[in-house]
Amino acid sequence: MSSVASHFADSYAEAREKFCASVAATGGSLRSLRNPTLGPDGGRLFMDVARYGADDAPKMLVLMAATHGVEGYCGSGAMINWLRAGRVASLPADTGALLIHGVNPHGFAWIRRVNEDNVDVNRNFVDHGKPHPPNAGYLAIADALKPVSYDDASLAESKRVIDAFTQEHGAFGFQQAVSGGQYSHPQGLFFGGHKPTWTNRTIRRVIREELSHARLIGCIDFHTGLGPFGYGELINVSPPGSAAFEMAKHWYGEEMTSPEQGSSTSAVVIGAVLDAFSQEAPEAAFCGIALEYGTYPVDEVLEAVRRDNWLHIHGDLNSTQGRAFKAYLRERFYPAGAKWAEMVWTRADETIGMALRGLASS
Ligand SMILES: [Zn+2]
């Protein structure tokens, strides 16, 4: 195994151990916020937050892994490689770093995109005091996406509904309907929740407690599942024309994409975790992107999510089918082998470098 790949992990427990050891070896301070649930092995689950630099550093680099649970294997490996490569040593005096490992530790440990409440954490940061946004497309296909049994007859029927929807709205219209976020089906896919999740409450606290002194925050939230294998797309979910959007354009250039401008592989999403930074650290200018790594074709990725959703509601995790579904999902969000891991790290190092140059020049 290459040394780069050796910093990636096979389980949440292994990832956490490697992360905490790397923080200790590089002189970071670490705080661990416990999630109230347990992992499949009965182990405890944490959002681990490592901090580097002066307590009052006005500029802060923030890296986040596992907003989407299983996608955390990617972000974890990237962060650990960044630490092991000694990059902390070259942070300027006015710049600190905050590495948030296990944003959604439950999904990370259980090999799921969602959290302990079947909530897509990255659709949960909406104002729950207001009516939740409707998703008419999802309503049309909700039942087809979640057949009661995963047998040939129900799959044929749901395929008929999905094919008809895709015929009418296009493949990207289908992706938008499924993955844009929905607030009507708590047991469905990409459900945004009806109240702030543990992750939502906890990360807001971390932002308030760790970033109140910051005047400029450059954040990278690691994701996987969209785009060409191993390529990291720089996605900006801020409204085009906003100050955050313009700053990101300045930092990352023309390769930065925008779902709202139609230039991204991602659907337009609402309630993203990055929205919390400006709300909880209003004194700081914020420049955040999602670094989205490709794995497999999007229809396979959505099918993996659909199988996992069915498995946890109707299936048996310990059955042959359950294990096969789980392995399918894992590969779709965390491809095995050193090649993908090496591509992840190379692109992560490059992108973090862009963020640091942006922090230095803004
Ligand atoms: Zn994601």
For 170-221, the pLDDT digits (tens) are 999 999 999 999 999 999 999 999 999 999 999 999 999 999 999 999 999 9
User: What is the SS3 assignment for the chain?
Assistant: CCHHHHCCCCCHHHHHHHHHHHHHHCCCEEEEEEEEEECCCCCEEEEEEEEECCCCCCEEEEEEECCCHHHHHHHHHHHHHHHHCCHHHHCCCCEEEEEEECCCHHHHHHCCCCCCCCCCHHHCCCCCCCCCCCCHHHHHHHHHHCCCCCCHHHHHHHHHHHHHHHHHHHHHHHHHHHHCCECCCCCCCCECCCCCCHHHHHHHHHHHHHHCCCCEEEEEEEEEEEEEECCEEEECCCCCCCHHHHHHHHHHHHHCECHHHCCCCCCCCCCCCCHHHHHHCCCCEEEEEEEEEECCCHHHHHHHHHHHHHHHHHCCCCCHHHHHHHHHHHHHHCCCCHHHHHHHHHHHHHHHHHHHHHHHHC
Using a pLDDT cut of 90, give the percent of the chain over it.
96
Q: Which residues in the chain come in under a pLDDT of 70?
A: 1
> pLDDT value at position 5?
97
Query: 265 CA to middle of ligand 1, Å?
Result: 12
pLDDT tens string 316-358: 999 999 999 999 999 999 999 999 999 999 999 999 999 999 9
> pLDDT value at position 148?
82
> pLDDT value at position 127?
97
Query: 222 CA to middle of ligand 1, Å?
Result: 7
Q: Any residues with CB less than 8 A from the CB of 355 and at least 6 apart, and which?
A: 61, 218, 220, 251, 287
Between CA 269 and CA 276, with CA 270 as vertex, the angle to 5 degrees is 120
**Residues 274 and 252 sit within 8 Å (Cβ to Cβ):** no
pTM over 0.75: yes
Query: 55 CA to middle of ligand 1, Å?
Result: 30
Query: 6 CA to middle of ligand 1, Å?
Result: 23
Provide the residue ranges of all domains of the chain, joining segments of one domain with +: 3-129+196-295+334-361, 136-188+302-324
Query: 92 CA to middle of ligand 1, Å?
Result: 30
> pLDDT value at position 206?
98
> pLDDT value at position 1?
60
Query: 353 CA to middle of ligand 1, Å?
Result: 22
Query: 71 CA to middle of ligand 1, Å?
Result: 6
Query: 194 CA to middle of ligand 1, Å?
Result: 20
Which of 3.40.1800.10, 3.40.50.11750, 3.40.630.10, 3.40.50.1820 is the CATH number of 3-129+196-295+334-361? 3.40.630.10
Query: 54 CA to middle of ligand 1, Å?
Result: 31
Query: 90 CA to middle of ligand 1, Å?
Result: 29
Measured from the Cβ of residue 41, the count of other Cβ atoms closer than 10 Å reads 9
Q: Across all residues in the chain, what is the average pLDDT?
A: 96
Amino acid at 188: G
